[in-house]
Structure 1
């Protein structure tokens, strides 16, 4: 009866006896990982209980009088089979941590807003289609995780979560974020990846404490200019969207350390990016860039990614001039970025690179044709000679074949040789043909 802490986790206990109610001094109990399906009816009599963990026990329902545990500060119910929450849950006025992740909840009761002292609320991996507006009453909430649900929108009342530092809404069906999100001045981490965002609200620039913003795998075509107001932003990831341009205000993110916009539709990077002087990692692989701004040379980059199969984090660049604008630019062997031919096979991934997703949606036929037929020429400017001599003194560099293509070329040549050797009546030409084939095979 003087027992204060009881840990029976990860056993094969099928049932907790009703007599556990005699453990009046019990403060911490962990029954996680047992083949339990219910808690005893007498359980709420343990009124000194402050921490209860019943994760992964196939729990289908909570006792209706769970609210009698009025001293409870932490309640962990992750990985169960809960489909609803009893109304009495709202009586847990001292509750600071509530973990309901990976259950079967379709509805969150409005009384959730009565848990005024709640600091951490995990609702990830459920079936929630909406969040009640009363959640905005949780003024002390620090972390809200509603990822992996079926949310199509967030309530505007979310602006009431003035203490919130972490908001995780990954893997939902959101098309927009509420404008009220700009009221979350203490928000540090915002993850909205794998949704259906078509635009990012301008009020995002008011989240002055934001250090990490993850927008991966959405439908964004532009980023708002207000993003440049995020002076503390350290990590910005917008991979696999439909971005066609970046705002020049991006340079205002003076603390930006990692910036990734892989697999978008960017044709240029604004020169103002150099104003983000703390930038160390820039990933622009899988876009449509024809060159890079010369201002990048002023940054202390540790990694610049232009291609999926790029083996080194940094490349050797040359200075050039844009023939259209006269602007000084940077270029290298990987620029301009070009998608590979449609229909490339899995074994040709190094050649397909990060542009595979773009190829599937490519409507510009000239873009594809230009990629396939790209040729680089090096000319030697010495004494002027006739046109034939000049042609002889020019080196042409075509796109390097994939190793698989080289093998196919060699195999074709070898098959040709075998067919020629097997042919009858061509003995007089056999040596000459074999010599020619040998020269081709050696070259391959």
Structure 2
């Protein structure tokens, strides 16, 4: 058990390592190319690569390297042993080595088209395909092989598994001599389209089922040429403008052929007698002028025959004898003027026939027990017989459009007819018995005719299954007063049995309604209550207008009151903001005043008042003054006061004015007898005490104490005083603009 667990872990590790390696390399490749989800398909087309990119894992199954610049065959393709589809088209390859596909045993589809191969020997046809044991499709189109005639042994393609070989547009001019298919023992499809091929001979293959030689230059094929292809089922030789098939005994012969396409050739006779098991024959766009008696007598299994776009002028009564299995016959775009009455009886299984674009003048007494669809459009039919449909008991769809029919016979009968197309004829009238004998009628088209009188719903009393009625593009005369018109309009356009769209019914007369629909022209006639003035409607209109006007007034008043309330709210909010600003400025002013009072000391508090003796000993001043600081001459006096402070707003001006009035004092000057503002000294402290000590009274007292008396008095005024003891608030000059931060 332990050993098994160790081995399982070992294998899991190896698997994970391989997976990681695969993911890493695949990621690198997917950066250049396009990968699918499981990374088994890689598309590297149109990348300008010169080689297959490295890192592609061996699990890749589909690789597209088309439209690149690869000049030499990639050598690293050998390791992709799981590859089943390889596309190397649109490159510059000119040769393929013998061992190029040695390891590609799973390859099924190989595309080497649009390269530069010019000779069969360049691809080593004997050896290159044999390693690919599962190869099914090989595409070598758009190369320049030139010929497949008299191929030597070393030029033959040899593959035991190849089923489809495509050699379109390879400039091959002839296939003769030894068969090029002799080395392909399992070939099924061989394509030689769009080559300048004049003819092919000795094309031998017991397994070939489909041969394509369209758009070549074939002019003649040997009568026994197809006998070498005993399994051939599908033969397409269209667009060979020179091809002619013999109508004699020596015509082409093939017992196995089921499908034949010889359209767009130069064939004068169908010449199908040599194909007894043919199921489908397309012979359109040829030069067939005449169909002889018993032309298809040997084609008893033919089911589809297309003879359109020829020059067939007449058909005999026994032309189609022997076509007992024919279901579809196309004779359109010919020159047939008459079809014998019993010619269709020879085809008991015929269900559809096309006779459009011929020269038929009347619908004759055709007889067929199985015919269900007849197309006789765009002929020159001008007469429709009363009993023309009686010989067609299975008829379901009849197309007679684009003809010259001017009248429909009364009581035309068919118990199975469902769709009758009479568009673009010359019909002008119908009556109660026109469609009376068509009980199964489901759709009727009369577009582009000459009807003027409005129909009646009673025309279709015997047609209970009618679902579609096309009446547009007619010359309808709209008589809105006619009750039948309104009744028929409802019958045609109203649900649930709606048969026509109302916009398709257009009036062409009288002149006042030309171009209008029936409803537009007759609306007020069919609805008279909505045309003229109605008193009740007028009253209701007035009421609605009054109510609407009242609602408008209420709405306007509401909007106006709302706007007023809004404006009042905005104004109140603005006033509140202004008042708040004023309160803030008032508080700032009060705070400034308090700080000024607190920080400004009184000088008189610092100097003790003189005694009586000292006062007597003090010198007498010549001028009166309010304090000792003004001692001296009048010229040396300075105004005392605080610096002015300016601020924005009337509140700051008021604050400044109050401060100035509280701090300034008036003084009298004896010279000019005017009152001037005097600024108090801003400096107080020890210098004032020193000035007092130097005063004459103090000096005289001191001298008397020492016995020295001096009558002279010297008064010294200090120009500069010492700094005050207490710190003072910053003052601004008058010129400076104060801001709120200064407060």
Asked if TM exceeds 0.5, the reply is: yes
What is the correspondence of 1:292-331 to structure 2 with a 5 Å cutoff?
292=455, 294-296=458-460, 298-308=463-473, 320=484, 330=488
In 2, the alpha carbon distance for the partners of 1:126 and 1:235 equals: 29
Worse-matched range after superposition: 130-139 or 192-201: 130-139
In 2, the alpha carbon distance for the partners of 1:76 and 1:164 equals: 21
Please state how far the C-alpha of 1:134 moved relative to its aligned partner.
3.5
**Partner in structure 1 of residue 380 of structure 2:** 219
In 2, the alpha carbon distance for the partners of 1:97 and 1:272 equals: 45
In 1, the alpha carbon distance for the partners of 2:455 and 2:393 equals: 24
Would the alpha carbon gap of residues 208 and 272 (structure 1) be closer, same or farther in structure 2, given more than 3 Å must change? farther
Structure 2: runs of 5 or more not aligned: 1-157, 493-503, 518-743
Contact 1:37 1:60 in 2 (8 A): no
TM-score (norm 1): 0.64
In 1, the alpha carbon distance for the partners of 2:192 and 2:408 equals: 48
Contact 1:93 1:116 in 2 (8 A): yes
Please state how far the C-alpha of 1:166 moved relative to its aligned partner.
0.6
**Partner in structure 1 of residue 306 of structure 2:** 145
**Partner in structure 2 of residue 442 of structure 1:** none
**Partner in structure 2 of residue 53 of structure 1:** 212
Match of 1:181 among 344, 348, 352: 344
Contact 2:289 2:311 in 1 (8 A): yes
Please state how far the C-alpha of 1:124 moved relative to its aligned partner.
0.5
Please state how far the C-alpha of 1:171 moved relative to its aligned partner.
0.3
Would the alpha carbon gap of residues 281 and 85 (structure 1) be closer, same or farther in structure 2, given more than 3 Å must change? same
What is the correspondence of 1:250-399 to structure 2 with a 5 Å cutoff?
250-256=412-418, 258-269=419-430, 271-273=433-435, 275-289=437-451, 290-292=453-455, 294-296=458-460, 298-308=463-473, 320=484, 330=488, 374-375=509-510, 397-399=512-514
In 1, the alpha carbon distance for the partners of 2:190 and 2:467 equals: 47
In 2, the alpha carbon distance for the partners of 1:148 and 1:104 equals: 12
Matched, 1:14 2:172: yes
Would the alpha carbon gap of residues 7 and 67 (structure 1) be closer, same or farther in structure 2, given more than 3 Å must change? closer
Q: Match of 1:320, SS?
A: helix
Q: Match of 1:259, SS?
A: strand
Q: Match of 1:55, SS?
A: coil
In 1, the alpha carbon distance for the partners of 2:483 and 2:392 equals: 32
Please state how far the C-alpha of 1:36 moved relative to its aligned partner.
3.4
Contact 1:13 1:35 in 2 (8 A): yes
Structure 1: runs of 5 or more not aligned: 311-315, 322-328, 335-352, 354-370, 377-396, 403-444
CA offset digits 1:16-49 (Å, max 9, x no partner) = 6554141463553242543232343221x22443
Please state how far the C-alpha of 1:6 moved relative to its aligned partner.
1.9
Q: Match of 2:314, SS?
A: coil
Contact 1:98 1:118 in 2 (8 A): yes
CA offset digits 1:46-94 (Å, max 9, x no partner) = 2443332222334333345324234433221122224311464442133
CA offset digits 1:354-384 (Å, max 9, x no partner) = xxxxxxxxxxxxxxxxx98x328xxxxxxxx
Q: Match of 1:209, SS?
A: coil
- Higher RCO (CA 8 Å, separation ≥ 6 residues): 1
**Partner in structure 2 of residue 390 of structure 1:** none
**Partner in structure 1 of residue 102 of structure 2:** none
Q: Match of 1:292, SS?
A: coil
- Structure whose CA Rg is larger: 2
Would the alpha carbon gap of residues 27 and 231 (structure 1) be closer, same or farther in structure 2, given more than 3 Å must change? farther
Please state how far the C-alpha of 1:291 moved relative to its aligned partner.
4.1
